[in-house]
Amino acid sequence: MNDFRECVDNIEVVDVNQLGLEYTWNQRPHALSGVLKKIDRVMVNDEFLSMFPNAFTIFQPYRISDHSPAILKLPSNIVVKHKHFKFSNYIGEKEGFRNCVVEGWNKQCDGHKMFVVVKKLRMMKKSNRKLMWDKGNIHARVTNLRSKLDEVQKLLDLNPHLTIHRENERSILKEFNEAIIDEEKLLRQKSKVQWLQEGDNNISYFHKVVKGRANRSKIHAIMDQTGYMIEGESVAATFVSHYKNFLGSYTPCADITDPCNTFLKCIDPVLARHMIRQVTDMEIKDAMFDIDDSKSPGPNGYSSAFFKKA
């Protein structure tokens, strides 16, 4: 297995999303003994995931064989879904970010304090989206600036004494360095890799991690309660139906005649009072600043870096 892991690392491949049988190889049982192992895999590289982001594998029952047949599926009907707002951390260091936050936070909003916070964060999404939109596609920007830098350096090589070429190179190089730092921060945030130090330029590694995470997070097919396989757009409806039946069921509970005997174990009163003490602003700030920048505190799309920068 050590040799296999080393081989997988060297050729840079990952498992495709899979469903069906977990154990893909079996040793025929003799006298009620036998072995089941997961030894069959469908592994792909980064280029394959780019071409077929929705690929997945189904391991079928092995029947009379000792290996489970693996069917690789490459769905062609890609459904483009509306993307929810997600704050890009690199925007927090751009000009106009703080003004955007101040303007949104100063808007009048009435209601409970927590409602006001949620409402203002929701209203700020529009201005933050515009700020990210104005920066454009960061990956395309890096590619474009790289090409411009190559061209100006070729011109500079033909005529080293021309001042305009040197000025153009200096200007483009500054933009290019800024763009690749922004790209690294964006990919680091998406990959959620925390063990690399800030400033390590591992853009290709982050790209691979992001694609691998995107592939693993998709659910292309699922077995319903009857064992029937559901694929495509019906997967989401199957989930909803299952939880409606599961969470919507009603079971009568016996009446509690003596609530005093319900909780027999109690914590020390001093500890109990400590748990319900007033939470200080510094405790809230410390808790927020202890969260890694790539993490998201809630479903609103704002990373912890947003609150730190703001």
User: What residues does 36 pair with on adjacent strands?
Assistant: 26
- Beta-sheet strands, E only, within 144-291: 221-223, 229-231
Predicted pLDDT of residue 100: 86
Q: What value does the mean pLDDT of the chain take?
A: 81
3-state secondary structure of 35: strand
Comparing C-alpha atoms, which of 154, 91, 159 is closest to residue 125? 91
Token pair for 302: 């704002």
Give the DSSP letter of residue 159.
-
Answer yes or no: are the C-beta atoms of 211 and 15 closer than 8 Å: no
Q: Cα angle vertex 254, ends 250, 260, to 5°?
A: 130
- Mean pLDDT of the region 132-145: 83
Predicted pLDDT of residue 210: 65
- Mean pLDDT of the region 48-64: 85
Q: What percent of the chain has pLDDT over 90?
A: 8
What letter represents residue 262's amino acid? Answer: T
Residue 87 banded pLDDT, cuts 50, 70, 90: confident
Q: What percent of the chain has pLDDT over 70?
A: 83
Token pair for 108: 């009048």
- Beta-sheet strands, E only, within 49-149: 56-59, 70-73
Is a pLDDT exceeding 50 seen at residue 117? Answer: yes
CA distance linking residue 95 with residue 91, whole number of Å: 8
CA distance linking residue 17 with residue 75, whole number of Å: 13
Q: Tens digit of pLDDT for each residue in 148-178?
A: 889 888 888 888 888 888 888 888 998 888 8
CA distance linking residue 186 with residue 68, whole number of Å: 40
Residue 69 banded pLDDT, cuts 50, 70, 90: very high
Domain ranges of the chain: 2-78, 89-194+276-309
* Exposure string for 214-226, b = 16+ CB within 10 A, e = fewer: ebeeeebbbeeee
Is a pLDDT exceeding 70 seen at residue 80? Answer: no
Is a pLDDT exceeding 70 seen at residue 208? Answer: no
Predicted pLDDT of residue 286: 93
Residue 195 banded pLDDT, cuts 50, 70, 90: very low
CA distance linking residue 263 with residue 266, whole number of Å: 7
Q: Tens digit of pLDDT for each residue in 292-308?
A: 887 766 778 888 888 88
Q: Tens digit of pLDDT for each residue in 260-277?
A: 667 778 888 899 899 899
CA distance linking residue 159 with residue 152, whole number of Å: 11
Residue 201 banded pLDDT, cuts 50, 70, 90: low
Is a pLDDT exceeding 80 seen at residue 82? Answer: no
User: What residues does 56 pair with on adjacent strands?
Assistant: 17, 73
